Structure 1
Amino acid sequence: MIQKAVLIGINLNISGRERSMDSLEELAMLSETAGAVNAVSVLKNIKRIDPAYYLSMGMLEDIKGLVLSVNADIVIIDASLSPAQENNLSEYFDLNVVDRTRLILDIFAAHAKTAEGKCQVELAMMNYILPRLKGAYMMLSSTGAGIGTRGPGETKLETDRRKVRQKITHIKNKLKLAEKTRLLHRAKRDRQGLPTAAIVGYTNSGKTTLMRNLTGKGEKGEDKLFATLGTKAASIYDNNRGKKVIVSDTVGFIQNLPLFLIESFKATLEETAYSDMLLHVIDPTQKDVLYKSEEVIKTLDEIGVGDKEMIVVLNKIDLLSAERADFLKTKLERLMGKPVVLVSAKTGENKNLLKEKIFELLL
């Protein structure tokens, strides 16, 4: 069923309004990727976060008017809500309210294709749901003050919490088995002395298309956020050197990606930790491209791989003027202190130049 969505952007800093608008536009893309129809978007400037509702009552009244005017089915807020805030807002609007994290989780659930990918999504979902279980029993617990009114609700709550924790343990055990299989493959590559490169970058920057262009294998890239969730590996060859390099694709990063989501996708991001080199793919047609590239570097630092050998791959140069491409190349080299290669993953332009740079640095 297609849902009609009202999108609420949040700006906690007046000077950061432009970036908040960019985040709201990104939320709109996430919403569309999840299958919703965006009826209206609005940015709210707030001075302080209300602990109960996140937004002030005056703002909530304005939003409720919008919800009624467009007959919306769902409200999506560009923030991370606490379980209490999410529950209170859903009751206030009398419809489903989701935050940025839950929206990303829904997209992950829709795009997970491998058994391991589905386990990773389920683990992330369970970690998200666990602190929110209490809201489901609030009404049952407060229906009366007599004997027998609170007890059953609390008992059911604890039972469900225990089930969720057991499920989390079960999923983690399955992921550990998958990890052992990956370690065996990795050990085999190590014995063969094969160097590895992991493709990283902001979501929808063209990583999967680049992977396919470099190796001739992998899925066809899609113009969607988080189209790739699992890890895929393939080889590139250098006939002159008689050598090959294993290249792996990884899940895309995004601003405000919660740490527990990164932890859930440890198996995918693990490829970056064990690789000899990172290929950081940047889409220069995205708004605020330098900020987004910094978000990727920040996430790489958080998972402990920010100091690895890296090539910055400035993608989609077929959509840029030569002057713009040269300007960005110079800017990125200065900002990141890494070699920058201009390519078009779509047309294959400079593909051989990138391959040569990979082998040159790795071998």
Structure 2
Amino acid sequence: MTAQALLKTESATSSFEVILDRSVLVRALGHCQGVVERKNTVPILANVMLEARNGQLKMTATDLEIAFVETIEAHVSQEGITTVSAHFLFDIVKKLKDGSEVLLKLKSETGQLEVKSGKSQFHLATISPEEFPHPNAGDLPYRFTLHAQELARLIDRTRFAMATEETRYYLNGIYLHATVDGYLRAVATDGHRLAQAEMDLPTGAQGLPGVIVSRKTISELRKLIDEAATQVEVSLSETQICFVLGSSILISRLIEGTFPDYERAIPQSNESPLEVSVALFAEAVDRVSIILNDKARIVKLHLSPNQLRLLTENQEGGRASEDIEVTYSGQDMDVGFNSRYILDMTQQMTGETLQLIFGDATLPVIARDPLDEHVLYVLMPMRV
């Protein structure tokens, strides 16, 4: 189904009545309430639009930056359209008995939506759908299809490095673009670390402009992928991006701004590789970090041939250290990193070992996953 077909909305009517399976309804409402903000100064933006027609219930939610539409099968006794609080409806349906059926009935005489299941009955206030801002996908000239798990991989390998700063808003997302050597690449950075993952460029993505997909969009998209069909249809312009997953559609404005020239942050002169067990390294970093209580959370790495010593100390004079056997033949070196950033990175590794490629104590370190050559991480050092 195309984005335009999913977004098409009929004219408003004064009443409707549908019966749905509770599990199907609660899953769809869960997606909707992820888009709708709980605190909203514009009442209509707190609502989900419900449209019953042709044996289906279409639900639409938006915060004006992101719009989500999902269509589910329903027994429609009377066609119609209305809007109701997304969070109230979700919270009610979530607490109904599993396996039950739910009646949604809009009463024209009161303008309220009746929610009924078994002996439970609720009445919710509604707002006219004429006030609801209807999403519009617009002209999206770039179109391609991805396997759902390929898209999930790009997201999972990079999203932990997204920034959360208001001042550098253009870092609060994943930069998606086509490379000159034929890859679709995802990049995220917060200025202290960088994560990059790529896959073969899909048909139709040639000449794709570089776009920044927002943190919230990435979060909602990732939830949908877990329940999606095998394919995800992607279409975009320089200002909007649209994902179609079966009968669900997610439309988002892209972050305006210029993503930094991230390739300049990847050192080219690092020539001293270190191989270490991911599990041993992560567990050791986690242990020596117990005594740290400041925001910096610095772990010093002392490198020597085939030996890695981790050292930490806190402001009260507490210290911790642990030695790990590694494969390393470079020069002795002391370099510090944020322990949280190390642990975030190790969680992305798919193999049993991790490769860290060092230059000197002032240069960022490159991290690679031996089982996935199309993933790369960069960590900036900290003064020790």
TM class by smaller structure: under 0.3
TM-score (norm 1): 0.26
**Structure having the larger proportion of residues in helix:** 1
